[in-house]
Structure 1
């Protein structure tokens, strides 16, 4: 009997020893995953879902673009320290690039707030890339003097080089000239060593326009050309603040525009298929927005559940993000720019 008990104890001990070794292996794998940088994004390597994040920290805007798909549903802006905490959490999960957007991020009461976040991301979090998307109408040189050194890329939205067309789209306010503002900002970007980018939404108002000479003159690091996108509850449907159906262009019309402008070397095109789910969008409450069903369904806030849990509700298409060229030389230190 004693021999039988000893044999069984030996079997149990052997099983527990193997289980411990297996547990140790699992722990080792977890450690290795932490050691291997989550920002490693060479082809075939480990890839972080939070490598690049678009933080729409405000929905308010001074323009009324008819096709806007992130409209002024709220006036909420996250308190500065809470916003910094969310950005820190994202950095811990592998974020290398943050893009601040809106709404319009340079509204009169937002410039210092935006500057503080830009400085925090570059100085404290040491992110390789900090960028902003703006309509350009409210940017002043003083902002560049205070914060330009912390900013890698400034993208200005410009849908036409005809001022009447811009106004018809809703990209205008009072007597301000959108094109003049664009040209002035281009000069400031050179002066303060900020990489300059142009974003253009192709719609029924500009579909026949020839922009080649203007873009070549501006010489942006990237000319991002988007197909007008419809999202339920934002710019389409009964509950939307905008009705963008009259701005929508077909795939064929969009392809024809691209074909006419194929000689522009910095053109980066994104149709609706590439665009809809390939951006990791964080809203004003720091919730990821899932656009898979043609609307924006928010996740829980990363401040409440953490980044990983919120990502499960993001609908983010990481493969499409890579295919559309979401990873590029986005730090101005790595760009071959002539200032």
Structure 2
């Protein structure tokens, strides 16, 4: 009866219609706004030369940054938490299978901090899939080490070839200045603990260091020799527009940047360390195949990260054509090495 009275009045009926339309448009606007904030920015539409696609580079070694979230705040980070997106597990597996079918031999999982999603379970399932199902010769991880538990090694360690832990200094005060820390926890103590777990569970142990203004004058020789990693990868601090430099960046890394001469002096100081693998900005910028959280290859040639289309949408061969990857530089920097722990003949 009340409804009939409302609709029988032209004025009230008009108000009802306006109110309904208002709610409809508000819902549509809300949905569009959500889509724009959660969907990846589409790369510039570039025409594909089919001959180039047919002769595309083989993705022998791929770095998959499946998450950007991290619990550390390293001031020079060049893959920052611009999104919180992580692919569903089955979609990530589908992409990894596509890469294997295109010739991938080594996968390296990174972030962000790769042990954050599901407290390492998501990562563990990917590691297990790559080794057991895809039977890749090498599966590796780069981590800050803060989230790793011994139970993870017990469950997934057999399927992991190399674990690289990022450590820029053995002085806790320096790590705090860099941002390579979480609260008052000792990054160095954690590093030593993980080294022992790697030995116990037969995982090759590696160290990555970013050389910057806060550690460039240090001598890490004694500590590195004591830890005895299979490789000590030493990077020169690199600026990437939109990541750690520029107006839209989440970091301001300019104060961490060192010169080529400073980097070389650091390398000379550590020339007696046989496992040292140096990587200047020139070597690093174009010699990595990097997949982001949407499984898009990132082209860093112009000093920023320009994404391809996702391999899940267009396939590996088409996407890799826009990666900017320099295979000659990849080989020159020693990107191809003995990367399967079965071939390393390590004494556990």
TM-score bin (small chain): 0.7 to 0.9
Match of 1:286 in 2: 295
- Residue 47 of structure 1: CA displacement? 10
CA distance in 1, matches of 2:174, 2:185: 14
- Residue 48 of structure 1: CA displacement? 5.3
Tell me: CA distance 1:290–1:48, structure 2 relative to 1, closer, same or farther (3 Å). Answer: closer
**Which runs of at least 4 in structure 1 moved beyond 6 Å after TM superposition?**
none
Match of 2:153 in 1: 144
Name the TM-score, length of structure 2 as normaliser: 0.84
Aligned match for 1:302, one of 289, 292, 311: 311
1:158, 1:200 within 8 Å by CA — same for their partners in 2?
A: yes
CA distance in 2, matches of 1:215, 1:47: 39
CA distance in 2, matches of 1:184, 1:336: 23
- The one-character-per-residue Cα deviations of 1:93-138 (angstroms, maximum 9, x if unpaired) are 0000000000000116241110000000000000000000000011
- CA-based RMSD: 1.3
CA distance in 2, matches of 1:185, 1:98: 21
Aligned match for 1:253, one of 262, 276, 291: 262
- Residue 62 of structure 1: CA displacement? 0.1
Aligned match for 2:335, one of 318, 326, 337: 326
CA distance in 2, matches of 1:297, 1:238: 16
SS of the residue corresponding to residue 167 of structure 1 reads: helix
SS of the residue corresponding to residue 118 of structure 2 reads: coil
CA distance in 2, matches of 1:119, 1:126: 9
SS of the residue corresponding to residue 307 of structure 2 reads: strand
1:155, 1:196 within 8 Å by CA — same for their partners in 2?
A: yes
- Residue 168 of structure 1: CA displacement? 0.4
SS of the residue corresponding to residue 252 of structure 1 reads: helix
Corresponding position: 1:276 with 2:282: no
Equivalenced residues, count: 295
Corresponding position: 1:235 with 2:247: no
- The one-character-per-residue Cα deviations of 1:253-310 (angstroms, maximum 9, x if unpaired) are 0000000000000000000000001000000000000001000000000000000000
Name the TM-score, length of structure 1 as normaliser: 0.86
1:48, 1:94 within 8 Å by CA — same for their partners in 2?
A: no
1:280, 1:289 within 8 Å by CA — same for their partners in 2?
A: yes
Moved more, 67-76 or 100-109: 100-109
- The one-character-per-residue Cα deviations of 1:8-27 (angstroms, maximum 9, x if unpaired) are xxxxxxxxxxxxxxxxxxxx
Match of 2:217 in 1: 208
Moved more, 218-227 or 173-182: 173-182
1:274, 1:324 within 8 Å by CA — same for their partners in 2?
A: yes
Match of 1:223 in 2: 232
Which consecutive unaligned segments of at least 5 residues does structure 2 have? 1-53
CA distance in 2, matches of 1:291, 1:49: 18
Match of 1:76 in 2: 85
- Residue 240 of structure 1: CA displacement? 0.3
Match of 1:194 in 2: 203
CA distance in 2, matches of 1:119, 1:49: 23
SS of the residue corresponding to residue 347 of structure 2 reads: coil
2:57, 2:320 within 8 Å by CA — same for their partners in 1?
A: no
1:202, 1:228 within 8 Å by CA — same for their partners in 2?
A: yes
Corresponding position: 1:87 with 2:96: yes
Which consecutive unaligned segments of at least 5 residues does structure 1 have? 1-33, 35-45
